[in-house]
Amino acid sequence: MSKLVISKLFLYRYRFYIGYIILGLAFIALIFLLPLISPSGLSDLERQSVVSSYNLHFSSITSGDLIDLPYHILQKISILTFGLTPYAAKLPSIIIGLMLGLLLILLLNRWFKSNVALLASILTVLSTPFLYLAGSSTPLIMLIFWPTLLLWLGSKIQGEKEPKPLWCFAFALALLLAIYTPHLIYLVVFIIFFAIWNPHLRFTIKSLPKFPLFCMGIIVLAGIAIWITNIISSSTVALTLFFGENFSLSHFFDNIKTGFAPFFSWGQPLEGVYLSPLIGLSSLALAVTGLFSTRQGFFASRNAIASCFIVFAIILAGLTPDSSLLIVLPFSILTAHGLRYILEKWYGLFPSNPYARVFAIFPLSILLALMIVPSLNHYVYGYKYTPAVANEFNIDLTLISENLDDDTFLIVPTDTLDHAFYQVYEDRHHRIKLYASTSDIKDTAPRNDIATINKAEEITLPEGYTLSRIITSPNSDNSDRIYIYSFNN
């Protein structure tokens, strides 16, 4: 009877490939099912993003609408293609979230051993803050996407004797597009100065073929020229890109407290779109373990990068509280460090025992299950059944699509977000007729139904109309959402 050799077993030899395939399939399925899981509606920021994207035109490039331009272009294409639905609004974030998850997996796999990178990738892409970003129809995900892309592209260039021009071109293009995201101009400036200061990077740039380098320079200079022209012509754009739309120096530390409160609120849930706590105690303990395990090799590239991004996230949170979500990137790196430290300590106890490595699978699987399953349950059920959070998401679009007949008169006051949002719906679907008041409605035969969002106390109904139906929302507050008035002969 031949001796069993663990290293020759199929599952052992291809364990990482199998793990990444399972992770990839589960991640893809979860990402595309996010709008069907939670949250089921759109927040005010998401609806404002939809309005901004739909009103984007070609002339916007020169008129000052540069903020998060790449994201808004994708969102407009999605709405023009699929109409105004919650899924179409979230589709750009789903696609970018899919790419961001892939980039995080590739980045961690480049910096750490395969076993550590696989486990850290699972914990990162299935965490509550990552799933929220991938399922939200706001450009906030770009704040993490561009730095992650730049780090991965930089790892393909740094340390290579002859880096491929394609990677250098992609890095320069990502650097250019990143300046359209608020606050990332500081990161871009830091990278440029670092490239000038570092002699190896200077040599790498000089060694690139001249023609690709010339083309890359023309594209970058043209993009920077457009960017500078617009921030000079629009003080609002400049303020938003550099400091945030509502920046106030006196509120700097209050903004930091507000931004990071959802991450560490393990008591009563906070009101807002973020489901607190965004990070579980077990995940936080693992990241803290990773942080302290790197104290001896702090100046190693990935350790310094994680620490610098933590400081960067704190500073940006002082400008805009939502920017605190940038902490997801260094958190993933520190999680990988924590896992590496735990595995090294375990294997160090049994340096000559191969069965100890196999036995480690069981406690490690239990640890991961205790971190992943509660996190997913927290995300799925928390956004549905936590009143402080669920009430921040508006499902009126779904209620209108499912309950209003064609050509219903929808009464929404002008100069409101609702009016701008449903103008997009009217334009794409032609199912409703949007009016500011009943006085704008002209006589029709037969008379169309009139609908209002919430009960309009001061509405003056045309003669012959009475309340026929009330459409309710499952949310705890403002459950009576849409009032429908029908004409009685």
What is the rounded distance in angstroms from the CA atom of residue 28 to the CA atom of residue 22? 10
What is the rounded distance in angstroms from the CA atom of residue 101 to the CA atom of residue 148? 10
4 assigned to some structural domain: no
Beta strands 432-435 and 480-487: pairing type?
A: unpaired
Q: Which pLDDT tens digit goes with each residue over 349-362? A: 766 666 666 676 77
| Domain match, 78 and 181 both | yes
Q: What is the mean pLDDT of residues 7-32?
A: 70
Beta strands 465-472 and 450-453: pairing type?
A: unpaired
pLDDT reported for residue 295: 66
pLDDT reported for residue 251: 82
| Domain match, 380 and 454 both | no
Looking at 390, 408, 432, the residue that finishes a domain is 390
Looking at 390, 420, 444, the residue that finishes a domain is 390
If you compute the radius of gyration of the chain from its CA atoms, what whole number of angstroms results?
Answer: 26
| Domain match, 152 and 216 both | yes
What is the rounded distance in angstroms from the CA atom of residue 375 to the CA atom of residue 405? 40
Residues 466, 485 contacting (CB under 8 angstroms): yes
pLDDT reported for residue 9: 60
| Domain match, 431 and 334 both | no
| Domain match, 205 and 290 both | yes
What is the rounded distance in angstroms from the CA atom of residue 130 to the CA atom of residue 372? 13
1 assigned to some structural domain: no
pLDDT reported for residue 386: 82
Query: Could you tell me the pTM of the whole model?
Result: 0.86
φ/ψ of residue 484, rounded to 5: -115, 125
Give the residue with greater pLDDT, 174 vs 229. Answer: 174
| Domain match, 319 and 416 both | no
- Predicted confidence (pLDDT) at residue 2 exceeds the cutoff of 60: no
CB-based contacts of 251, cutoff 8 Å, min separation 6? none
In the chain, how many domains are there?
Answer: 2
443: pLDDT confidence band, cut at 50, 70 and 90?
A: low
Give the residue with greater pLDDT, 10 vs 91. Answer: 91
Which residues form the domain of 353? 23-390
| Domain match, 319 and 408 both | no
pLDDT reported for residue 144: 92
240 assigned to some structural domain: yes
Q: Which pLDDT tens digit goes with each residue over 145-156? A: 999 998 888 888
Picking from 170-179, 394-403, 454-463, which range would have the lowest pLDDT averaged per residue? 454-463
What is the rounded distance in angstroms from the CA atom of residue 77 to the CA atom of residue 71? 10
401 assigned to some structural domain: yes
pLDDT reported for residue 80: 92
| Domain match, 310 and 414 both | no
Closest CA to 368 of 131, 132, 122: 122
Residues 448, 410 contacting (CB under 8 angstroms): no
15 assigned to some structural domain: no
13 assigned to some structural domain: no
| Domain match, 213 and 284 both | yes
Q: Which pLDDT tens digit goes with each residue over 308-360? A: 888 888 988 888 888 888 988 888 888 888 888 888 887 777 666 666 666 76
Q: Which pLDDT tens digit goes with each residue over 379-427? A: 888 888 888 888 888 888 888 888 888 888 888 888 888 889 999 998 8
Looking at 390, 405, 439, the residue that finishes a domain is 390
| Domain match, 68 and 53 both | yes
- Predicted confidence (pLDDT) at residue 1 exceeds the cutoff of 50: no
50: pLDDT confidence band, cut at 50, 70 and 90?
A: very high
18 assigned to some structural domain: no
| Domain match, 379 and 482 both | no
Q: What is the mean pLDDT of residues 456-473?
A: 78
Picking from 66-80, 321-335, 372-386, 447-461, which range would have the lowest pLDDT averaged per residue? 447-461
433: pLDDT confidence band, cut at 50, 70 and 90?
A: confident
Q: Which pLDDT tens digit goes with each residue over 113-166? A: 877 888 888 888 888 888 888 888 899 999 999 999 988 888 887 766 666 777
14 assigned to some structural domain: no
| Domain match, 163 and 138 both | yes
Give 472-475 contacts, CB < 8 A, sequence gap 24+.
473/395, 473/396, 473/399, 474/395, 475/387, 475/390, 475/391, 475/393, 475/395
